[in-house]
Every structure is written in C-alpha cells, then in structure tokens.
C-alpha cells in the first residue's frame, strides 16, 4: 500500500526523468556524443554554469547522504547512486521514495509493538 507521499515522490521521479531528458535527447540528436561540446555548452555563460554547478553539487550532496544513510538497504543505496548518475532530478526523488518506503514498515512494526517513533 503506497502513501500519498510515496505517490508524490514517484510522480516527481517521472517528471525528473521526462522533462530534463526531453532536452538532452534533442541535444544528443543534434550533436551526438560530443563530450567536449557538451561541457562547452553546459558552461556557455554564467547562467548556464550556475545551473550546471548547482546540479553537480546537489548530486554530490545527495550521494553523500544516500551512501551514508543506514536506514536504506545497500541495494537501495546502489539504486540511488545509479539514479544520481542520471541527475539530481532522478536521484533525489528516488532517494526520498526509497526512504519513505522503508520508513512505513518500520513505523507499522513499532506501532504493533507499542513503541512510538519520534519524527
């Protein structure tokens, strides 16, 4: 059974795949796998560089959080790393969905045993 929060994270994950990759696919069709051109275009001006570095740093922070998050199974942490390679808009909602999915069974078990988890 999924919660509204889990459904929201899955919706954001879908949006995080569709919207950025719509543009990436167009660029790849036009230029192919030209990595130097990609980097040049990514850093073409101050605004583009701001967004590029913002996303790169966000992914590094996300990876640090996910890799050290002991509430997730190792397998889930690996999925977050893979998702983050696709970008923050994929990795972050995936990480939040996996955390939420793990949290719900733990809360149910705690309630069944009479222990209440603090938030």
On the 0-12 / 13-18 / 19+ scale of CB atoms within 10 A, 80 is buried
pTM to 2 decimal places: 0.81
pLDDT tens, the chain, 119 aa long: 789 999 999 999 999 999 999 999 999 999 999 999 999 999 999 999 999 999 999 999 999 999 999 999 999 999 999 999 999 999 999 999 999 998 866 665 555 555 555 55
Cβ–Cβ under 8 Å, residues 59 and 66: no
Please report the pLDDT score of residue 2 as a whole number: 86
The pLDDT of residue 52: 96
Q: Among candidates 53, 29, 28, which has minimal Cα distance to 38?
A: 28
């Amino acid at each position: 059974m999924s919660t509204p929060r889990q459904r929201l994270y899955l919706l954001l994950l879908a949006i995080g795949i569709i919207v950025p990759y719509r543009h990436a696919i167009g660029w790849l069709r036009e230029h192919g796998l030209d990595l130097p051109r990609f980097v040049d275009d990514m850093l073409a001006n101050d605004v583009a560089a701001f967004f590029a570095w913002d996303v790169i740093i966000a992914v590094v922070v996300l990876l640090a959080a996910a890799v050290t998050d002991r509430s997730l199974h190792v397998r889930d942490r690996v999925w977050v790393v893979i998702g983050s390679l696709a970008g923050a808009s994929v990795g972050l909602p995936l990480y939040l969905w996996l955390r939420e999915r793990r949290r719900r069974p733990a809360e149910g078990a705690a309630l069944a045993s009479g222990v209440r988890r603090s938030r």
